[in-house]
Structure 1
Amino acid sequence: MTNRFKTDHQEDESYIEVAEGVWGLKTLFVNLYVIAINKNDWVLLDTGLKGYAAHIKSMANDLFGNIPPKAIILTHGHFDHTGNIVELLETWDVPVFAHQLEKPYLNGTSSYPPPDPTVGGGLMSLMSVVYPRKPINLGDNLRILQNDSHLPFLPDWEFIHTPGHSPGHISLFRQKDRLLIAGDAFVTTKQESAFSVATQARILSGPPKYFTYNWPVAKISVKKLVNLHPKIAATGHGKPMQGEELINGLNYLSENFEKVAIPTSGRYVNRPAKTGKRGLLYVPPKPVNRAAIASLIAVTGLIIFALVRLYKQ
């Protein structure tokens, strides 16, 4: 089995070894992971941002040769974690496992709660107004994880239901080395900021604000993961983190979640969206964006002023 280790001078499609038998690949600004079952068999965790199917296949071929995965497991179904799944399933006709509460977003039934561009933090938040949220339909490939924390094909791993960022979001944990793959329950960069995303500035942060629809539940999910006392954490966005940096960062995030994770304003800050087994049930109204209104008034005033001056000439 071969592997490559990413350096600052390699291309984004290079991959890194996160821990024994686990590799990560960054697709522009989103990570996916390959988990070995043995020297011949493997599982793919998430599929990253659209356009990287060839990179995923190349990585798999380097590691395992021309052997398809036993399965694809999804931490959740947001567009940046399922971007290549349809194309990959055309090559690899394998089961796709997800939590029961993600099912409506993966079988064509329901859209996710709308992203919230008003949460602040940078360009990635502002751009979220155009991020896809419509469901995909995985058809007969879709399988539902049972409620016993068991992961198919991965006896050394368990999954933890960590909702808040999405209804059926899960994180994966391996007890033997206390390795946590957290998905977007928390991340290791400031995902709302295009600068932080571009530089991969390492800072342990809450779930990406623009897609998190239930903040009280997201806080509980972080506490669940803190209580696992992970030694290594790999997340959906940002670089892996370990040791004291991880421990201190997680403890600080958990203890100060309202201050450092929850935005000061936004659509879901005071009232979460409601979801159920059939998908989206209720979305709170859009917040009044006073800054945008003030800008509009100012621009309108300038236009009127210019027209008045033009009329008097």
Structure 2
Amino acid sequence: MSQPTDSSRQQLREVATGVYQIELPTPFSVGPVNVYLLKGSEWTLVDTGPHTSAAWDTLCGALKQLGCQPADLSQVVLTHHHVDHVGLLQKVREVSGARSLAHPLAVPFVEMDETFMAYHNQFFYRLYRESGVPERLLSVVEKYHRMLLTFCQPASIDVLLKHEQPLPGLPEWQVLYTPGHSQSHLSLYRASDQVLIGGDHILKQISSNAFIEPPRDPAQARALPLVQYRTSLQMCAELEIQLVLPGHGEVVTDHRELIAGRLQRHWERAGKLRSLLADGEKTAFQLSALLFPGLYEQELALTLSETLGHLDLLTMLHQLEIRQKEGVFYYSL
């Protein structure tokens, strides 16, 4: 096997026994995404990166450094369905014939079923209007749809994964359901050396956004992602973990301290919302503009999800009242 160049050393490194981290470029503000190659009797890829030529070329180059190629991959495990993690899945499947594994709630997003995607868009149009978002900003829904079509190809999921089952083909890894950042989020835990492949669940530099998502069944109420996220974090805080291998950024070695800080900041933001409501009722959009004055229009989906998540938390604790007027929800103390 040829020796890695300085550039490829930065993009490929062994971060735990038989676990190789590959850093792939993305066109998104979050920056590069980490995918992982697991060495067993066969090769398993965890996440794929976005559907771009730069990500594909980097992935192929990293595999070459390990003496393999995309055709050698036997399975692809998805931590969650976001485009920066799944965009290349179909291309990998076409080249390798690898089977794909994910949580059941990832399926309609990854398959990009037309009926589901139409419902997905209508869900957000309604949510944003109910949150008081001005009509001029509703184009963000179509913008998001175009982004999906640009950086992701529809793909099938072959195997559905559930909480605490052994990972097929690699039984030393246990599947953990860690929803919050997305409804489909999974992490992988290897108890023998206390390593967690955490996707976007636990990141060192940034707090993962708990994104609002439509329920799979339109008849159901949407989930409360920040409440879910806090529960998932608390579950991981109880685990013995030496290393968290994240979807973005650096390896985490102090997961309990980091989680405690994240949970505390949730309460601090909830307190900030209460103070913003002290002078009268406001919509979620108005509160988002006050919380994120330089960001709320450019990153509407992110900032509104963050705001709604904390409003969900306060509402669940009976600290807020909600009234509806002309199709818009208003929050008050």
From the superposition, tell whether residues 114 and 47 of structure 1 become closer, same or farther in structure 2 (CA, over 3 Å).
farther
- 2:109 aligned to which of 97, 105, 108: 105
Contact 1:23 1:35 (C-alpha < 8 Å) held by counterparts:
yes
Aligned-pair distance for 1:82? 1.1
Q: Corresponding residue for 1:173? A: 189
- Count residues in correspondence: 244
1:35 counterpart = 2:42? no
Contact 2:162 2:177 (C-alpha < 8 Å) held by counterparts:
no
1:218 counterpart = 2:229? yes
Q: Corresponding residue for 1:161? A: 177
Deviations 1:74-107 (A, max 9, x none): 0011110012222222211111000111111122
Name the CA distance, whole Å, in 2 between partners of 1:56 and 1:253: 32
Contact 1:226 1:254 (C-alpha < 8 Å) held by counterparts:
no
Aligned-pair distance for 1:252? 2.5
Aligned-pair distance for 1:267? 2.9
- 2:239 aligned to which of 228, 239, 257: 228
Aligned-pair distance for 1:130? 4.6
What secondary structure does 2:167 align onto?
coil
Mapping of residues 117-266 of structure 1, within 5 Å = 130-131=143-144, 132-133=147-148, 137-139=154-156, 142-190=158-206, 206-208=207-209, 211=211, 213=213, 214-242=225-253, 245-259=254-268, 265=288, 266=303
- 1:10 aligned to which of 7, 13, 19: 7
Contact 1:3 1:63 (C-alpha < 8 Å) held by counterparts:
no
Percent identical? 23
Contact 2:76 2:99 (C-alpha < 8 Å) held by counterparts:
yes
What secondary structure does 2:244 align onto?
strand
Name the CA distance, whole Å, in 1 between partners of 2:78 and 2:271: 25
Q: TM-score, normalised by structure 1?
A: 0.66
Deviations 1:91-137 (A, max 9, x none): 1111100011111112223346769999xxxxxxxx99955357853
What secondary structure does 2:228 align onto?
helix
Contact 2:36 2:47 (C-alpha < 8 Å) held by counterparts:
yes
Q: Corresponding residue for 1:275? A: none
From the superposition, tell whether residues 22 and 262 of structure 1 become closer, same or farther in structure 2 (CA, over 3 Å).
farther
Aligned-pair distance for 1:146? 4.2
Which range moved further: 146-155 or 70-79? 146-155
User: What letter matches 1:224 in structure 2?
Assistant: M
Q: Which runs of 5+ in 1 are unaligned?
A: 119-126, 191-205, 273-284, 289-313
Aligned-pair distance for 1:2? 8.0
- 1:76 aligned to which of 61, 76, 80: 80
User: What letter matches 1:235 in structure 2?
Assistant: P
Q: Which runs of 5+ in 2 are unaligned?
A: 26-31, 132-139, 214-224, 274-287, 289-302, 314-326
From the superposition, tell whether residues 59 and 229 of structure 1 become closer, same or farther in structure 2 (CA, over 3 Å).
same
Q: Corresponding residue for 2:304? A: 267
User: What letter matches 1:33 in structure 2?
Assistant: Y
Aligned-pair distance for 1:65? 2.5
Contact 2:92 2:98 (C-alpha < 8 Å) held by counterparts:
no
User: What letter matches 2:232 in structure 1?
Assistant: S
Q: Corresponding residue for 2:61? A: 58
Name the CA distance, whole Å, in 1 between partners of 2:272 and 2:45: 32
